[in-house]
Amino acid sequence: MSKQKEQLPLPLFDELITLNANMLDEEGAWETPAYLAQNMVHKFRYYQDAALRFFHYSQATKEFRFRNINHVLFNMATGSGKTDLMAGLILYLYQEQGYQNFLFLVNTNGVLNKTIDNLTNKTSNKYLYQPKIEIDGERIDIQQVPSFPKSQSKNTIYLKLATVQSVASDIFTQKENAMGEEDYARHKVVILGDEAHHYSASTKTEKETEQSWEKAISTILNAREDNRLLEFTATIDLENKKVYDKYKDKVLYRYALDRFIRDEFSKYVKRIQSSNTDVDNMMNVVLLSEYRRRYALEEHGAYIKPVIMFKSQRIEASNVAHEQFNELIDTLTVESLKAFLDRQAQIASEDDSETLALAYEYYRNHEDSLSEIVRDIKRELAPSRIINANDTSQSGILEKGHYEALNSLESPTNLYRVIFAVARLTEGWDVLNLFDIVRLSNDPKTKGTKATTMSEAQLIGRGARYYPFLLNGERSFKRRFEQDGKDSLILETIHYHTINEPQYLKNLVSALDDMNLPTGKDKKNPPFDVEVKSKFKKTDVWKYGKIYYNETIEVSDDYYDSLDKYGVDNKNDVVIPYISALKEVGYKDNKVQADYPNAYNVVLTFDKRFLNKAMNRLSFYHFSNLKKYIPLLNSREDFLGENWLNIYNRTIRVTIPRTMESSTITATEKLNLLERYFVNVAKQIKAGYSKQRGTGKFIGYPIKEYIVNYRKRVPKYDTSNILIDSSPQNVQRYEIKEDYFVYDSAIINLTERQLIDKIAERVSELKEAYSDVYLIRMDENMHRESAKNNKLKLHQFGSGHDKVNLAGFQPDFILYLQNTDYFIQIFIEPKGRNIEEEQWKEDLLLYINEHESEIIFEDETEDVKIKGVKFYTMNDGRRAIHQIGEIALGKEFKGLSL
């Protein structure tokens, strides 16, 4: 794993972060204008909202009033929606700042055509605005123009979309009807520079041809003081000193690839490394791609069209590969397919691709249908459904001749499935249903140099955009399935099929690491089978035993008529612990008292601006969202009033150390204290709102129907650290042969393993009081094997919970104890982290013990006791094992130290 590079300081971005946190003037209440949501097809994601807000601050606040921030750069990950943000900025700058003239610059004609569709072509499925744009009752017209008119019409936005080459040529060459410097001085202009890293070429070199681009843009920007330049790029080389010096004060917002992936807006990335011939790799990807299509249809009733891209380093090699592919499909027969599958079976090893193995298994299980499958492959991958993007010497894929086809690959009417292209395929291509990229090796003149592999890594990053296919009538722009599960491997993963050459792979992995792009080999990671022991299936517990969970009932919106229904205290004074900017602890963290043993409470003084700012900084409190959780709410002001939060009738106090004067609490700290309070209230409201609530009625579910075999996969990644479990406790599979454990194995971390071992030490003592002693692991993957197991959740019931949370959860273990008189079921939850955040779970487990009188059973004749214990933590710091002894035996276990 490569060491993370130290982040270079970016003064403008850092200043805006501070301003966003500290600002208390009239701009503190600013949020994304409603007219953007009303007039754009896509709703802004949180980071797009933040980028627009930062830009607004740079243009509208008193801190920047005399600085004329006229050149900024948005550094945002590929696929994160930079064009959506540009479209929103156009409307913002028109409405808020009065700009009507926008010059959109790109580096290639292909990207130019795509952007024309995005911003001006109402018939395109890529068009980003609503068909009719209206702001404050006025209809707004967007006109694409070759030059900005001298006389400008009201309610009109003029868009000039051009390549940087053509604009530079116009600036430096006197041409008829061309826009020169004086034309950009007539009316104020906003330049939108897409893929902006190209426009700083002269910053890196001194070539005159490249310098003219940068100089031309600068000429337009400086033609008027109120002209603006907004640049956008996913890749900016800040390691280059000249580039850094130019942009360090211009980077206005950053949203990096690692954050994009962590936010689940991407596919997973897996590498299939092979020493096969190119033709065999082609056959593999054909079978995998067609399997994806069939799997989506047969398992989920979803139609997807997975696209394959074959990538070469040179056009000549790509064209040869295209011919080979056509011949492969043309000569494919049932017999040749069977022979290929047989050959793969003969050379199979544990090191093979897991996903390919699933595809092979599918075809072997459908041997009777192979003639139909072959016909489908010949139809789906026929020459008429292949694009060869190598008939151009330009630098992008979206060039003349293929633009329409390549820019609409997600459309159901677009039948193309395969693309052949050279390594230059990079910018501008935003296809979402690309699932396989095959790096061909039939070009002896090219090798995987560091430059080449970085280009490939960037391509993989582009292909990793999530495909929002329709599932159960809904689209999602975020991942939906369990990581590395079968659904995710096939429908949420892009596979990069690559040559198995050591130096090339070393360079590729290094490039992926540098991008912080998490990938792993699609090998050596089969799911583990976890099976109920056959011996356990012979017992009466298996045949007749039950496990108990409480029933839920539906709740109407009318139930939520006050915040106490959510567990929010709106009557007592608020006490917030003072925490300096250097500390990061929770709202009610007990470390505060430990750090400040002589602490005392003082009244926090503030005005309404602080409340508005604290709420505006949290998207939860945007009224449209707040209304989802509080259906009876009338307005955001109503939320602050006595019917709900009652904030004006309560005193807010802050706990500070004796050594500190209350007058030293700064405005920024006041805001942070209030924000922390509102964050806590938001968590309580979200946790307390549900369409279902638990009851005290417990239902017995037959063990033999609900304790089932299941499979579980442990994800493995070897680049980046985003998807690698940050816990030091690595999950592993352990075989457990002893009879008391009902499964043959468990896939668990060290805390869970330690719990199992400590229970094992007490089995003989428990058997002195109980004929049946069994520990049952309730793995979440067991849910997925049987839909009915979703009933197996424990929910809050009754009243008086310190923190209301109606979501319900499944404790990880059940200790099942039975003798001739009664049966005890003890819920046990091991916990290694997030203890404070999930404290409500432990509270519920203990609530069960303290409120036995509220528990009723479906069959009242059964002598059943339901119990819970404190979280089991490493080395039993909360004494859960002691508590189990007290519950089960009425005394501590023998020899158990205090």
Q: What average pLDDT does the structure give for the chain?
A: 84
CA distances from 641 to 421, 647, 648 (A): 62, 7, 7
Give the whole-angstrom CA distance, residue 788 versus residue 800.
Answer: 31
Rg, the chain, Cα only: 31
Give the whole-angstrom CA distance, residue 116 versus residue 164.
Answer: 15
**At 189, is the secondary structure helix, strand, or coil?**
strand
CA distances from 671 to 578, 626, 800 (A): 12, 20, 31
User: What angle in degrees, to the nearest 10, is found between the helix axes of 46-60 and 11-22?
Assistant: 90
**Beta-strand runs (E) in 426-492:** 434-439
pLDDT per position as a tens digit, 106-117: 877 767 777 888
pLDDT at residue number 587 = 38
Residue 302 tokens, joined: 């979803």
Residue 228 tokens, joined: 């603006």
> In the predicted model, is pLDDT for residue 499 greater than 80?
no
Question: In which band, very low, low, confident or very high, does the pLDDT at 583 lie, cut at 50, 70 and 90?
Answer: very low
Residue type, 827: F
Q: Using an 8 Å Cβ cutoff, are 323 and 312 in contact?
A: no
Over pLDDT 90: what percentage of the chain?
A: 43
Q: Using an 8 Å Cβ cutoff, are 219 and 181 in contact?
A: yes
End-to-end Cα, the chain, rounded Å = 43
More confident residue, 183 or 459: 183
Question: Residues 444-449: what's their mean pLDDT?
Answer: 56
Residue type, 425: L
CA distances from 395 to 109, 448, 561 (A): 9, 19, 61
- Between CA 111 and CA 121, with CA 115 as vertex, the angle to 5 degrees is 135
> In the predicted model, is pLDDT for residue 591 greater than 50?
no
Please choose, from the candidates 508, 498, 516, 517, the residue with its C-alpha nearest in 3D space to the C-alpha of residue 454. 508
Question: In which band, very low, low, confident or very high, does the pLDDT at 622 lie, cut at 50, 70 and 90?
Answer: confident
Question: Residues 719-723: what's their mean pLDDT?
Answer: 55
Q: For residue 243, how many C-alpha atoms fall within 13 Å in the half-sphere facing its CB?
A: 16
Burial 114-147 (b: 16+ CB within 10 A, else e): bbbbbbbeeebebbbbeeebebeeeebebeeeee
Lowest mean pLDDT among 103-117, 387-401, 518-532: 387-401
Residue 168 tokens, joined: 């530079």
Q: For residue 327, how many C-alpha atoms fall within 13 Å in the half-sphere facing its CB?
A: 9
pLDDT per position as a tens digit, 874-892: 999 999 999 999 999 999 9
Residue 60 tokens, joined: 């509208």
Please choose, from the candidates 256, 580, 629, 308, the residue with its C-alpha nearest in 3D space to the C-alpha of residue 438. 308
Please choose, from the candidates 110, 109, 117, the residue with its C-alpha nearest in 3D space to the C-alpha of residue 87. 117
More confident residue, 399 or 383: 383
Residue type, 293: R
pLDDT per position as a tens digit, 641-674: 999 999 999 998 888 877 777 777 888 888 888 8
Query: Which residue is associated with the tokens 């910053």?
Result: 203
More confident residue, 322 or 30: 322
- The answer to whether the Cα torsion of 581, 57, 640, 38 is positive or negative is negative
- Between CA 793 and CA 797, with CA 794 as vertex, the angle to 5 degrees is 140
pLDDT at residue number 401 = 56
Q: How many CB atoms lie within 10 A of CB 637?
A: 11
Give the whole-angstrom CA distance, residue 172 versus residue 209.
Answer: 12
**Whole-structure pTM value:** 0.66
Question: Residues 488-496: what's their mean pLDDT?
Answer: 92
Question: In which band, very low, low, confident or very high, does the pLDDT at 523 lie, cut at 50, 70 and 90?
Answer: confident
Q: Which residues have a Cβ under 8 Å from the Cβ of 145 and sit 6 or more positions away?
A: 158, 159, 160
pLDDT at residue number 474 = 82
Q: Is 401 left (phi over 0), alpha (psi -120 to 50) or beta?
A: left
Question: Residues 791-818: what's their mean pLDDT?
Answer: 89
Question: Residues 407-419: what's their mean pLDDT?
Answer: 87
More confident residue, 85 or 834: 85
pLDDT per position as a tens digit, 693-714: 899 999 999 999 999 998 887 7
What is the bridge-based pairing of β-strands 434-439 and 493-499?
parallel
Give the whole-angstrom CA distance, residue 639 versus residue 616.
Answer: 14
- The answer to whether the Cα torsion of 724, 730, 734, 739 is positive or negative is negative
pLDDT at residue number 8 = 83
Give the whole-angstrom CA distance, residue 808 versus residue 765.
Answer: 33
Question: In which band, very low, low, confident or very high, does the pLDDT at 209 lie, cut at 50, 70 and 90?
Answer: very low
Give the residues across from 80 on adjacent strands: none
- Would you give the DSSP letter of residue 699? E
pLDDT at residue number 393 = 47
Please choose, from the candidates 114, 186, 116, the residue with its C-alpha nearest in 3D space to the C-alpha of residue 148. 186
Question: In which band, very low, low, confident or very high, does the pLDDT at 498 lie, cut at 50, 70 and 90?
Answer: confident
pLDDT at residue number 718 = 67
What is the bridge-based pairing of β-strands 732-735 and 745-748?
antiparallel
pLDDT at residue number 592 = 41
Burial of 711 (0-12, 13-18, 19+ CB in 10 A): middle
Question: Residues 111-125: what's their mean pLDDT?
Answer: 83
pLDDT per position as a tens digit, 674-688: 888 998 898 889 888
Q: Which helix (H) or strand (E) holds 144?
A: strand 138-144
Q: Using an 8 Å Cβ cutoff, are 73 and 236 in contact?
A: yes
Q: Of 180-184, 430-434, 584-588, 774-778, give the range with the top mean pLDDT.
A: 774-778
Question: In which band, very low, low, confident or very high, does the pLDDT at 249 lie, cut at 50, 70 and 90?
Answer: very high
Residue 733 tokens, joined: 């599979």
Lowest mean pLDDT among 134-138, 177-181, 447-451, 666-670: 447-451
Q: What are phi and psi of 350, to 5 degrees?
A: -65, -15
pLDDT at residue number 198 = 63
pLDDT at residue number 728 = 41
Lowest mean pLDDT among 527-531, 548-552, 764-768: 527-531
